[in-house]
Amino acid sequence: MLVMVMGVYLAQIGEVWQTKNQRAKEAELMRVGDEIRRAIKAYTEQNTGNGPQYPRELADLVKDPRLPVTKRYLRREYKDPLTGEDWQLIPAPGGGFMGVYSKSTARPLKQDNFPQEYASFKDKPSFADWRFAWWPQGNSGRR
């Protein structure tokens, strides 16, 4: 009987730990995704005399190749917190990319109460639907 009770107890602890771990990964996805979105915004607003340009790759946000001096919009190239792999890039008009999203098709625990710029994330069936982007019209996180 004691072994059975311990087994049920350990199963519940495992479930709680797994949920806590997923919530932490979701929070990291939101933090890093938003940081990349803000870096893309800053990159496109940097006046290089050629009009607004989007970065060609994530490395361009770490060191802007358009400028003779080092300009950083991100401290490093972040990996997708959920998969540990590279982000999926959202193509920008005219070349480059205007945002990122996770390749994970898992269902998010968080389904509501997002910040205003990410209100479109509400009730999305997978993390791949959470788009962190600086849209040409300035509508971040939308679509």
- Give DSSP secondary structure letters for 26-95: HHHHHHHHHHHHHHHHHHHHS--SS-----SSTHHHHS-TTSSS---SSSS-PPPTTTSSPPEEEEPTTS
Give the span between the Cα atoms of 31 and 10, in whole angstroms: 31
* Confidence (pLDDT) at 143: 44
pLDDT for 141: 52
pTM as predicted = 0.83
Per-residue pLDDT tens listing for the chain (143 residues):
888 887 877 777 777 778 889 999 999 999 999 999 999 999 999 877 776 789 999 999 999 998 888 899 999 999 999 999 999 999 998 899 999 999 999 999 999 999 998 999 999 999 999 999 998 664 555 44
For residue 55, CA distances in Å to 23, 122, 128 come to 30, 28, 21
The pLDDT score that the predictor gives to residue 137 is: 61
DSSP state of 124: -
